[in-house]
């Protein structure tokens, strides 16, 4: 799907649902493309969306899965404000209701109410093909998230990425740069877009 077609989807969500997002349309398109790419690599992947908010990142990832003909599953986790984070979204019931306006996308998504670190600890090692980190942006939390999720990423090939790699006062840049330094032997590629998505391709040397 080209960017113009993605924008039609983006506008449809904004115009016809209660879903809001802090993530730019260009960034959601990047998420779509990375998701599509990973589904072409692996047909039954497990994807992870850390920080559902109203579900827009999850829908964009699911669109990539659909367009690639994937049989994968996307787990989208949010604690919906139960840790004191100022959540002002539509809540888990609202997310399920609004995203079900896209039945061909929601069928990929399992929306779960949980603290992200607690949920990540339940995942099997070497199980995730793709993960997008966009929950609490405070340095310690991003650092702990990256530490917890790295062993869960598939070491033969997976993509780990996140939002707000520009928001240095909140700690995302420092946490991601520290993680990158420690894990450099596992990284095949690392980059950041002209917007604020950072991404890495994990491929450990065999
Ligand atoms: C920036 S928003 C996510 C935006 C979403 N990815 C999008 O593209 O529309 C961050 C979300 O992370 C959630 N969050 C914050 N701390 C969390 C935690 N410890 N565990 C799970 N979710 C958390 C918040 O409730 C909020 O909905």
Q: Return the domain boundaries, the chain.
A: 3-202
Q: What is the 3-state secondary structure (H, E, C) of 24-47?
A: CHHHHHHHHHHHHHHHHHCCCCEE
Gap from CA of 52 to ligand 1 centroid (Å): 6
Please tell me the predicted confidence (pLDDT) of residue 83. 74
Q: Quick one: angle between helices 56-67 and 3-16, nearest 10?
A: 140
Residue nearest to atom 19 of ligand 1 (CA): 115
Domain 3-202, second-level architecture: 3-Layer(aba) Sandwich (3.40)
Give the atom of ligand 1 at the shortest distance from the alpha carbon of 132. 6
The H or E element that residue 161 is part of is strand 158-162
Give the pLDDT confidence score for residue 206 in this predicted structure. 61
Contacts of residue 34, Cβ cutoff 8 Å, sequence gap at least 6: 64, 130, 159, 161, 199
17, 30, 52, best to mutate for ligand 1 pocket (most atoms within 8 Å of CB): 52
Name all residues whose Cβ lies below 6 A of ligand 1: 21-23, 51, 53-54, 56-57, 77-81, 83, 85, 87, 89, 115-116, 134-136
pLDDT at position 196, please?
Answer: 93
Quick one: pLDDT at residue 86? 82
Mean pLDDT by 10 residues, the chain (206 residues): 98 98 96 96 94 98 98 97 85 98 98 98 98 95 97 96 86 95 92 91 82
If you take atom 4 of ligand 1, which residue's CA is the nearest one?
A: 53
Residue 82's pLDDT is 85
């Amino acid at each position: 799907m080209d960017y113009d077609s993605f924008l039609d989807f983006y506008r449809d969500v904004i115009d016809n649902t209660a879903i809001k997002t802090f993530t730019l349309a260009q960034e959601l398109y990047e998420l779509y493309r990375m998701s599509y790419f990973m589904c072409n690599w692996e047909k039954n992947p497990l994807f992870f969306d850390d920080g559902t908010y109203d579900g827009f990142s999850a829908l964009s990832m699911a669109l990539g899965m659909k367009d690639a003909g994937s049989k994968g599953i996307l787990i989208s986790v949010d604690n919906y404000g139960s840790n004191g984070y100022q959540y002002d979204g539509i809540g888990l019931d609202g997310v399920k209701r609004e995203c079900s306006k896209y039945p061909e996308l929601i069928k990929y998504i399992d929306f779960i109410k949980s603290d992200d670190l607690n949920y990540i600890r339940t995942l099997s090692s070497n199980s995730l093909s793709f993960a997008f980190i966009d929950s609490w942006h405070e340095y310690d939390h991003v650092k702990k998230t990256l530490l917890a999720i790295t062993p869960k990423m598939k070491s033969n090939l997976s993509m780990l990425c996140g939002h707000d790699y520009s928001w240095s006062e909140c700690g995302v840049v420092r946490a991601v740069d520290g993680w990158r330094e420690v894990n450099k032997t596992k990284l095949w590629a690392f980059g950041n877009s002209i917007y604020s998505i950072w991404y890495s391709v994990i491929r450990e040397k065999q």
